[in-house]
Structure 1
């Protein structure tokens, strides 16, 4: 298919790479139970209890993984975070393998693996999100593409297709990688690869493996298109403004020269010409994300691979001696140290609110205050007349509030909680017997067409001085429902 690459792969540096991977996993383990659930984890906990081939806002893998962890290890914060540290450790090894494919030795592989000690991987590994499994799947696809092209082993296209198909069950973002890589081949070559039967066979495998997920989308009128449209409308401007700046921060500012070197190396080194499409794919991906108002982190899997490639020329630069090893070492320590403090809950919870960390990392702020918020809602419920309580339900404005009330409210004797956001709307409306609603909302329900009366009873406060979405929420008691729940429920649906 192509001329065999002259690149000789070095042995995998198992000891230093393994130390980096285990160290990252250990750090995640040490902080696994600090603070509290993230709002997305509370959401996955709820929707995962209703197994489906897909959900309105995402494929099934992460919610079902959360439910499986709960079933095996128990309904705790640490239980659902175990997969994250395993994904991050796996990503460290995969980054080292990408550097190895590009000709990197022990130092390059170790530096590449250290990419997981940066902001985005640490956040994705600490909080159970779709990002960590997506990173692993993207790196697997990229590694297979590199082996197919650099080592002239086209059968790896089949494996790339398998991983791409499996990735569709976590997020559909891998399509973005495949499209921009194909465009990169058209622009930078080798174009004849696009005629390879192995490449098309791999594409067919991806379609077949991901077919059930696609059929779910078709059968349900492509709900994720509706979700993407809602995200673009609600967060599109912010996504476009922060797209480029966040590319400079995901791996840390000291690592920017490394991934830039990866792009330059792919474009300039003759032995890497078969995969220079990866370098072209990255700016194409950024342009596409800007046009569709995609979230800035969508490109991270490819950015991480470029960093791993850039570790190879960086290691050669260090090998020239002098002060270079010290400069690299200092840069890695500072870069990774800042990432640790800003990405993981290492500071005491009553201190972090007095630092800029919650403003820098929304993941931290969204882990704080849930038990206190639930206790404040319970105080409102407890003040209701005894005769009202059997007809009372909880209604939450967003899935974080709903998830926290479901997790912490039931042991306290609170009634069932409902929400119109995303997949929670599909769980159905309250029973028609529910005539009293304890509503948690950031809006003004006094103008709601659903209730004749809504009286504010409390304002939520986490007590730690951490500004998050719930700090703006109020608790209301609403009565005089204007219609049946079946009639009102469609008006309460919202995507965000």
Structure 2
């Protein structure tokens, strides 16, 4: 049954589009600086092994990486074209969400600007990552859910099912905000939207789209659950301690008053009583993420929904108090600080300054240098033994870098037991020669599988960047202790 709701204001299409284009221009101008991120190197290889699933993720991001590089080139700039478009589209959807809450033209534009200058949108828009496409998916799902609540028209469940199904082909995290919204609606209503056959249709649509990946995961004993459990076990305590500070820092401290105003507006405004569960969804989601030991950014997309809701009261306050300059300065400071901490604007040698807040900046630096160092270590293997030798990388970033840059040095394709690399390639039992291990730190457990291991080099990114790979050990072992087919199960690494 449909409910009568006030019509939404006209959409400020032209200025919102201008904000999105400006964001795309900035992201494009900076997309070629530094280099590939470790995850991007992994996606490049995954894109060459297209499947319905991978150990640690569904198939959408590797597929988009393959499409982007096929069209625009296998460079950081070429890989990131679709990510840039996704970031721009996110800005437009945030403005559309503001419109659903009855925000007029100026508030819609402000919502677009706030999204465009926020640290989270800039950070994920800069790189190709599952979080990039996940953010847009959450925004689209939020838009459709808000339309469902505003109109009471059950047919929006079909759109929700379609968006959710596609989102599940990228990341399973989308189930968390949906679960939080369901809890909020059950607590506050309107429960009538749950008493509809359209809900069943929406669930079936989502299930049909997600089915191929779910089938793949089931056929492979649900490895993604193993990965998720390992992340929670390793990082859960730190994630919980840093949850609130990172929520504030990763979006922007300057946007805190706006999203608080948005929460209060949705919670208190009689005309928006239908949207009250949207406000409750955010704290419920935070509780779920904290309980699971998830990362702080898992809940960040819903803060953008609250920002969208808070733009109208912000515009009203600025108009009433004549503090336009105050707002403008705040937005400029947001843009500058967000760019500093999320975009490659600093010289690579100065990146250590931002690493305490955003470690991902450092993970875009030093991969060609790592391969240079591996190549130097490889030269220490006698030439007549190299045909039987193996390079074994400890993680998918190292393996991806060796796949990308190794051929120029005459290096063989690497082996690795990390994530889906384990499934893509395994050394033949005839490869009984030396093994060059690339290890973040000396790992006696790994080295116990090989004979006579000695460190022959250390990775240096030449820029003094204190990233994860800096100081990586290059260890040369005489040979594997057993045939690779017997060793391989011992070398699998899920996290």
Q: Which residue of 2 aligns with 1:159?
A: 159
Which residue of the partner structure matches residue 235 of structure 1? 235
Q: How many residues align?
A: 492
The residue aligned with 1:253 is: 253
Hey, what does 2:338 align to over in structure 1?
Answer: 339
Structure 1 Cα separation of the partners of residues 255 and 248 of structure 2 = 8
Deviations 1:342-383 (A, max 9, x none): 111012223434xx1133211110011111111111111122
In structure 2, the partner of 1:93 is 92
CA distance in 1, matches of 2:121, 2:203: 28
Equivalent position of 1:436 in the other structure? 434
2:347 counterpart of 1:369: no
Q: 8 Å contact 1:393–1:438 — kept in the other structure?
A: yes
- Answer whether contact 1:125 1:132 (CA < 8 A) is retained: yes
Change beyond 3 A, Cα 1:197–1:319: farther
For the residue of structure 2 that corresponds to 1:455, the secondary structure is: strand
How far apart are 1:428 and its partner, in Å?
3.2
Partner of 1:38: 37
| Bigger mean CA offset, 209-218 vs 34-43 | 209-218
For the residues of structure 1 that align with 2:234 and 2:425, how far apart are their CA atoms? 24
The CA deviation at 1:237 is 1.4
CA positional deviation for 1:446 = 5.1
Kindly state the Cα deviation for residue 431 of structure 1 after the two structures are TM-superposed: 1.6
Give the conservation status (yes or no) of the 8 Å contact 1:93–1:113.
yes
Instruction: Work out the CA distance in 1 between the residues paired with 2:159 and 2:228.
Output: 29
State the alpha-carbon separation in 2 of the partners of residues 151 and 195 from structure 1.
Answer: 15
What residue is the counterpart of 2:169 in the other structure?
169
Match of 1:463 in 2: 462
**TM-score normalised by L of structure 1:** 0.96
SS of alignment partner, residue 294 of structure 1: coil
Deviation at 1:445, TM superposition (A): 4.2
- Equivalences for 1:111-122 in 2 at 5 Å? 111-114=110-113, 115-122=115-122
SS of corresponding position for 2:337? helix
- Contact 1:436–1:477 (Cα < 8 Å) also in 2: yes
- Superposition RMSD on alpha carbons, in Å? 1.4
**Which blocks of at least 5 consecutive residues in structure 1 are unaligned?**
none
Partner residue in 1 for 2:386: 389
Q: In structure 1, what is the Cα distance between the partners aligned to 2:2 and 2:443? A: 65
Structure 2: distance between partners of 1:157 and 1:262: 25
After superposition, residues 49-448 of structure 1 pair within 5 angstroms as 49-114=48-113, 115-322=115-322, 324-353=323-352, 356-434=353-431, 435-445=433-443, 448=447
Paired residues of 2:389 and 2:434 also in contact (CA < 8 A): yes
User: What is the Cα deviation at residue 198 of structure 1?
Assistant: 2.1
Alpha-carbon distance in 2 for matches of 1:445, 1:129: 29
Is contact 1:342-1:360 (8 Å) kept?
yes
1:418-452 deviation per Cα after TM superposition (whole angstroms, max 9, x unaligned)? 11111111113212222211111023245632112
Q: Is the 8 A contact 2:440 2:473 kept in 1?
A: yes
* Deviation digits for residues 188-209 of structure 1 (CA, Å, limit 9, x no counterpart): 1112222122233222221222
Shift of 1:275: 2.4
Task: Please give the alpha-carbon distance, in whole angstroms, between the structure 1 residues aligned to 2:485 and 2:67.
Answer: 32
Contact 1:2 1:149 in 2 (8 A): no
- Corresponding residue for residue 21 of structure 1: 20
Gap runs ≥5 in structure 2: none
Contact 1:5-1:271 at 8 Å conserved across structures? no
Confirm or deny: 8 A CA contact 1:446 1:454 kept in the other structure: no
Contact 1:358–1:466 (CA under 8 A) maintained in structure 2:
no
CA distance in 2 between partners of 1:147 and 1:350 (Å): 48
Local SS of the residue matching 1:34:
coil
Name the SS for the 1:458 alignment partner: strand
